[in-house]
Structure 1
Amino acid sequence: MGFTENQEALVNSSWEAFKQNLPKYSVLFYTIILDKAPAAKGMFSFLKDSAGVQDSPKLQAHAEKVFGMVRDSAVQLRVKGEVVLGDATLGAIHIQKGVVDPHFVVVKEALLKTIKEVSEDKWSEELNTAWEIAYDGLASAIKKAMN
């Protein structure tokens, strides 16, 4: 069974809700990441020299890109059954930053916790699973590009 229209709709609707309060949810996303993996701070140019996670245009842009790529992965999974990276440099960028498998786990956890917060009373296991599958598809494509 492939990624369903309903799963894609769940991801799309929560993506729209995420974008409605991008400053708040961007800070939440990176706060969760750094709570789990403080050393990851150095991997993000917009966090390196800051005392903590503070809202900034670069932080928002990166969070929007990450969540947008997962949303795009949901679309690709439903339409094509696989995720193909639109940016061929993503693998090289992740290698350059020193990204390893445990980092993908931390980002996934932060993404899912953020989506739960975004979704409020609309959150469900089905919504969580849809984002999880879409993220896993994207992570697999990035890891493949890293090899």
Structure 2
Amino acid sequence: MTTQQIQLIKQSWASVAALDTLTVGTLFYDKLFSIAPDVRPMFRSPVSDQSRKLLSMIGYVINKLERLDEIAHEIGGLAKRHVHYGVKNEHYTVVGEALLWTLQQGLGHQWNDEMEAAWTNCYRTLSGAMILASKETATA
């Protein structure tokens, strides 16, 4: 990710994080479950709890984008936990789709091609690291 992309992500995330957590989470999970209904059973907590966890984790990672090496172990740990929940590599694609759609909805007129490219690059970087860590879990 470029410095410009990181700044775009941080600025746009500040706008999304200022929105109601449950509203953002509901948008995300409704979209996710509509495009991938098979993942619904993996989420046993209420949407309000899941939303808080999701936005908290995204915020944490966004704050560390310039220093991803500092949280690589945590990203790997998160991926390994996801394997135990039943997450498969192909799920990362639908989660990315739901995330980008949610960001677009939350940001409205602020969303543009440059921002979409930045978020897509960010998500691919992070999901790639998680997929790699999950493969290590599968072979362990």
Q: Which residue of 2 aligns with 1:14?
A: 12
Once the two structures are TM-superposed, the CA of residue 141 in structure 1 deviates from its matched residue by 1.1
8 Å contact 1:11–1:127 — kept in the other structure? yes
C-alpha displacement of 1:114: 0.8
CA-based RMSD of the aligned residues comes to 2.2
- What are structure 2's unaligned runs of at least 5 residues? none
Q: Is 1:143–2:131 an aligned residue pair?
A: yes
Q: Distance in 1 between matches of 2:122 and 2:7?
A: 12
Q: How far apart are residue 95 of structure 1 and its match?
A: 1.2
TM-score (norm 1): 0.79
Deviation of 1:72 after TM superposition, in Å, equals 4.5
State how many pairs are aligned.
134
| Alpha carbons 1:29, 1:114 under 8 Å: kept | yes
Mapped partners of 1:75, 1:30: distance in 2: 28
Q: Offset of 1:70 from its aligned partner?
A: 5.2
What amino acid sits opposite 1:124 in the alignment? Answer: N
1:103-138 CA deviation, whole Å, 9 max, x = no partner?
Answer: 100000011001111211111111011111111111
Q: Which residue of 2 aligns with 1:107?
A: 95
* Structure 1 portions without partners, runs of 5+: 48-53
Deviation at residue 65 of structure 1 after TM alignment: 3.3
CA separation of 1:102/1:70 partners in 2, compared to 1, >3 Å: closer, same or farther? farther
User: In the TM superposition, what is the alpha-carbon distance from 1:88 to its structure 2 partner?
Assistant: 4.3
In proportion to residue count, which structure has more helix?
Answer: 2
What is the aligned-residue identity percentage? Answer: 28
Distance 1:42 1:32, change over 3 A: same
Task: Assess if the C-alpha contact under 8 Å between 2:25 and 2:54 holds in 1.
Answer: yes
- Report how far residue 34 of structure 1 moved: 0.1
CA distance in 1, matches of 2:34, 2:96: 14
